[in-house]
C-alpha cells in the first residue's frame, strides 16, 4: 500500500466514525476492574439491573485464563492477583456463578497461591473494606481533620493532586465511620486470606510513623482553629461540601468511575439511604459510561471524547483536511462548546489566570488537564486564524496552558506545583502515583511542542528554555524518557523529542543523539516498535513480543521530528505501518494508555487509526521530495 492510499483510507475511516455532534466516541477500555466494581456496587446498593450485571459477568468470564486467573495485561506470565480477586468477588456477588463452579475453584487456588487478599493493591482493599470483606485498622492514619488544614501548611488537602483529592476525600469520610455495607447476597471471602501474617495495609495503618502522622495532623488543626470542640463535625461538613461542589451534571464526582463509587459509599456513611436521589443520579452517571467491546457491555473509567475528538481533528488536518471541511467544522464546534469557563481546584495554585482549558470527558466542566487542552488548541489553531471568536478561545486556552508551568520548568497533568515530597514519602502504597501530580516528560513534551510549533513561542523564551532544561535533566541514562500516561518509555521519548525539536534544540546535541540511538536500538526486526506494560513493574524498558501500530507511530513520529532525511529506521517503521494498518493481531487490543503504573491501563480503540495517520502525514509533509 502506498502512503497516499493509506492516508486516504484512514481519513475515510475516521470521517465515517464521527458522531453527529462532531465528536468521536471510540471505546476507552479499562480492562475488567470497572466492570467488577460496577457489579459489586449495584449488588451493594441492591439495584438489581440483571441485564447489565449478567452481561458484565459474561464479559469477565470470557477473559478468564485456563488456570482460573485474570490478567492485568495479555503478556503477564500467569495472572494478576488483584485483578483475579476483583473478578472473583464480583462474579460470586452477582449470584450467577457459585463457589463450587470449577472456574471459581481454580480462581481461588490462584488467589491463595499468590498471597490472598492481603497482597491485593490499595484500591481493591478499599472496596473490600467498604463492603465488609476486610478488617478496618484500629484507626485510619490520615484523619478527616486533614481537610481543615490551610493551604499555607506544607501538608494539606490541596498539596495533593486533584486525582488524589477526588478519591481521598470520600475515603476519609468512609474511613472515619469505618463503613461496612453488606447485604444478604454478599459472598463470604474469608477463605481467601493468605497464610502469611504479613499484611501491608494493616502494617502501614498501625505503624509508628502513621500514628505520628495522625497525631501531628490533629495537633496542627487544633492550633489553627477557634472551634476545637467542633473540629470533627466541621471536617465532615467540609468533606461533604467539597464532594458536592465537584459533582458534574451527570451526578459523577469529577467524572471518574472510582471517585464516584467512593463518593456513593461516603454518602452512605453520612446516613444517606441507598435510594437517595444523589446516589441514584451518581449510579445513572456511571451507567452512562457504558460502551460495547467485542459485542459485550463494558463500563468505561470515564469517556474519552474530548481527547479523541481533539487528536483526531488535528491528525485529519495534518493529513490536509482544511478548517472549512465539514468534518473539521463539526469537531471545532464540539470542542469550542467544551472549553471550560468555571474555576476548578487548579486555581488554588494558579489564582491569577482565567479558566480556558479542556477536560478529558464529555461532561467534565471543572477539571481541565494540560494534555486535553494542548490537544484541543492544536485542533483549533488553523480555524483561529480566520475566526475572531475561535481566536479568542484559543488565546484563552494558550494563556492558561503557559501559566501552568511548574517551578521546576516542567508541566504536570492537572495542577501546578502539586508534587509534595512529603506526600511522596507517606507510607501509603502507590502514594506517588495517586497523591502527587509531578512534572512528566509526556506532559512537558506535548505542551512545549504546542507552544513552539503552534503558538510560535520563540525558542529563547524562558518558558521553552526552562522546559528544555527540565527534559534534559530528567532523561534516563539510556537516552529514553519515562511516560506517565502512556506505555511507556517509547511514549515519553516521542513526546520529549518532538518538544526539543519545537524548541529548536539541535539534533546534534547529545540529548537528542542519545534518544535517537535508544529508539533505534529497540526497533523490532519487522520494522515496528512494541513495549510491554511490564516496563512499569521492571522499572526499565521491557519489549513486547510483537509490534503495535500505535507505538510504532509514536517512535516514527519522534524520529521524523528530529531527522533531516528518512533513514532506514524511519523507512522500516513506515513500511510496518503501511503493511499492518488493515490487520488486527492481538497487539492491537493491547493497552498502551496508562492511568496508574502497574495497576490501571487503558486500551484506546481510536489510537490504531489516528496515530498512524499522524505519523504518515508528517512523513509525507517533511520528506515528500526526498
User: What is the pLDDT confidence band of residue 226, given thresholds at 50, 70 and 90?
Assistant: low
Q: Please, how many CA atoms are within 13 Å of residue 161, restricted to the half-sphere of its CB? A: 20
The predicted model gives 98-125 an average pLDDT of: 96
* Least confidently predicted of 79-83, 134-138, 615-619: 134-138
Nearest CA-CA partner of 342 in 445, 248, 456: 248
Q: From the CB of residue 290, how many other CB atoms can be counted at a distance below 10 Å? A: 15
User: What is the pLDDT confidence band of residue 313, given thresholds at 50, 70 and 90?
Assistant: very high
Q: Which three cell numbers stand for residue 31?
A: 480492562
- Statement: the pTM of the whole predicted model exceeds 0.75: yes
The predicted model gives 574-583 an average pLDDT of: 96
Q: Which residues pair with 596 in a beta bridge?
A: 600
Residue 92 has pLDDT above 90, yes or no: yes
73 vs 591: CA distance, rounded Å = 7
342 vs 356: CA distance, rounded Å = 9
Residue 250's pLDDT is: 97
What's the farthest any 2 CA atoms get from each other in the chain? 77
What residues have CB less than 8 Å from 152, skipping those under 6 apart?
none
Residue 78 has pLDDT above 80, yes or no: yes
- Of 154 and 35, the structure prediction assigns the larger pLDDT to 35
Measure the CA angle with vertex 607, ends 505 and 475; round to 5°. Answer: 30
Residue 127 has pLDDT above 70, yes or no: yes
Question: Which domains can be identified in the chain, with CATH numbers?
Answer: 9-26+304-404 (no CATH), 28-299 (1.50.10.20), 440-626 (1.50.10.20)
- Active site positions, annotated: 371
Using only the alpha carbons of the chain, give its radius of gyration: 24
User: What is the pLDDT confidence band of residue 11, given thresholds at 50, 70 and 90?
Assistant: very high
User: What is the pLDDT confidence band of residue 435, given thresholds at 50, 70 and 90?
Assistant: confident
Residue 461's pLDDT is: 96
Residue 204 has pLDDT above 80, yes or no: no
* Least confidently predicted of 171-175, 421-425, 559-563: 421-425
Nearest CA-CA partner of 36 in 252, 258, 190: 258
Give the SS3 label for residue 302.
coil
Residue 360's pLDDT is: 97
590 vs 548: CA distance, rounded Å = 8
Q: Which residues pair with 299 in a beta bridge?
A: 290
The predicted model gives 535-550 an average pLDDT of: 96
Amino acid at each position: 500500500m502506498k502512503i497516499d492510499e493509506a492516508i486516504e483510507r484512514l481519513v475515510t475511516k475516521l470521517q465515517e466514525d464521527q458522531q453527529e455532534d462532531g465528536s468521536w466516541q471510540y471505546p476507552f477500555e479499562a480492562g475488567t476492574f470497572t466492570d467488577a466494581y460496577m457489579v459489586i456496587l449495584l449488588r451493594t446498593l441492591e439495584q438489581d439491573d440483571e441485564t447489565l450485571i449478567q452481561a458484565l459477568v459474561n464479559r469477565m468470564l470470557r477473559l478468564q485464563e485456563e488456570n482460573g486467573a485474570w490478567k492485568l495485561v495479555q503478556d503477564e506470565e500467569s495472572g494478576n492477583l488483584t485483578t483475579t480477586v476483583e473478578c472473583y468477588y464480583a462474579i460470586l456477588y452477582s449470584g450467577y456463578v457459585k463457589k463450587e463452579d470449577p472456574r471459581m475453584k481454580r480462581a481461588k487456588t490462584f488467589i491463595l497461591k499468590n498471597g490472598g487478599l492481603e497482597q491485593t493493591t490499595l484500591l481493591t482493599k478499599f472496596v473490600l473494606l467498604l463492603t465488609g470483606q476486610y478488617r478496618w485498622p484500629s484507626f485510619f492514619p490520615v484523619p478527616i481533620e486533614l481537610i481543615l488544614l490551610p493551604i499555607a501548611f506544607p501538608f494539606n488537602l490541596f498539596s495533593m493532586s486533584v486525582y488524589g483529592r477526588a478519591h481521598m476525600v470520600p475515603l476519609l469520610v468512609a474511613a472515619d465511620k469505618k463503613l461496612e455495607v453488606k447485604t444478604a447476597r454478599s459472598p463470604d471471602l474469608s477463605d481467601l486470606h493468605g497464610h502469611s501474617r504479613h499484611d501491608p495495609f494493616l502494617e502501614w495503618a498501625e505503624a509508628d510513623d502513621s500514628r505520628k502522622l495522625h497525631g501531628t495532623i490533629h495537633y496542627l488543626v487544633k492550633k489553627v482553629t477557634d472551634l476545637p470542640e467542633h473540629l470533627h463535625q466541621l471536617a465532615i461538613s467540609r468533606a461533604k461540601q467539597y464532594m458536592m461542589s465537584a459533582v458534574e451534571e451527570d451526578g459523577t464526582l469529577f467524572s471518574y468511575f472510582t471517585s464516584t463509587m467512593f463518593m456513593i459509599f461516603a454518602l452512605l456513611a453520612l446516613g444517606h439511604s441507598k435510594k437517595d436521589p444523589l446516589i441514584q443520579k451518581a449510579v445513572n452517571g456511571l451507567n452512562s459510561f457504558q460502551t460495547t467491546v467485542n459485542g459485550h457491555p463494558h463500563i468505561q473509567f470515564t469517556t474519552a471524547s474530548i481527547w479523541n475528538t481533539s487528536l483526531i481533528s488535528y491528525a485529519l488536518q495534518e493529513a490536509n483536511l482544511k478548517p472549512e471541511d465539514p468534518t473539521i467544522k463539526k469537531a471545532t464546534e464540539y470542542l469550542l462548546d467544551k472549553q471550560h469557563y468555571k474555576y476548578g481546584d487548579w486555581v488554588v495554585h494558579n489564582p491569577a489566570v482565567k479558566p480556558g482549558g479542556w477536560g478529558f470527558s464529555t461532561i467534565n466542566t471543572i477539571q481541565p488537564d494540560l494534555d486535553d487542552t494542548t490537544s484541543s488548541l492544536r485542533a483549533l489553531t488553523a480555524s483561529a486564524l480566520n475566526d475572531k471568536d475561535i481566536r479568542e478561545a484559543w488565546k484563552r486556552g494558550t494563556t492558561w496552558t503557559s501559566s501552568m508551568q511548574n517551578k521546576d520548568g516542567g508541566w504536570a497533568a492537572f495542577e501546578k506545583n502539586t508534587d509534595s515530597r512529603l506526600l511522596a514519602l507517606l507510607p501509603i502504597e502507590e502514594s506517588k502515583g495517586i497523591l502527587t501530580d509531578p512534572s512528566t516528560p509526556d506532559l512537558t513534551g506535548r505542551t512545549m511542542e504546542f507552544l513552539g510549533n503552534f503558538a510560535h513561542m520563540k525558542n529563547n523564551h524562558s518558558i521553552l528554555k526552562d522546559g528544555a532544561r527540565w527534559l534534559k535533566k530528567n532523561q534516563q541514562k539510556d537516552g529514553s524518557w519515562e511516560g506517565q500516561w502512556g506505555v511507556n518509555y517509547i511514549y515519553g521519548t516521542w513526546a520529549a523529542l518532538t518538544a526539543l525539536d519545537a524548541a529548536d534544540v539541535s539534533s546534534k546535541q547529545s540529548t537528542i543523539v542519545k534518544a535517537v540511538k535508544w529508539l533505534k536500538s529497540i526497533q523490532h526486526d519487522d520494522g515496528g516498535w512494541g513495549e510491554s506494560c511490564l516496563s512499569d513493574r521492571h522499572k526499565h524498558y521491557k519489549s513486547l513480543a510483537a509490534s503495535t501500530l500505535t507505538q510504532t507511530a509514536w517512535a516514527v513520529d519522534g524520529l521524523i521530528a528530529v531527522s533531516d532525511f528518512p533513514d532506514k529506521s524511519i523507512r522500516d517503521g513506515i513500511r510496518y505501518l503501511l503493511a499492518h494498518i488493515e490487520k488486527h493481531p492481538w497487539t492491537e487490543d493491547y493497552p498502551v494508555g496508562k492511568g496508574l503504573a502497574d495497576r490501571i491501563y487503558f486500551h484506546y480503540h481510536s489510537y490504531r487509526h489516528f496515530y498512524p495517520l499522524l505519523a504518515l502525514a508528517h512523513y509525507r509533509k517533511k520528506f515528500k521530495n526526498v
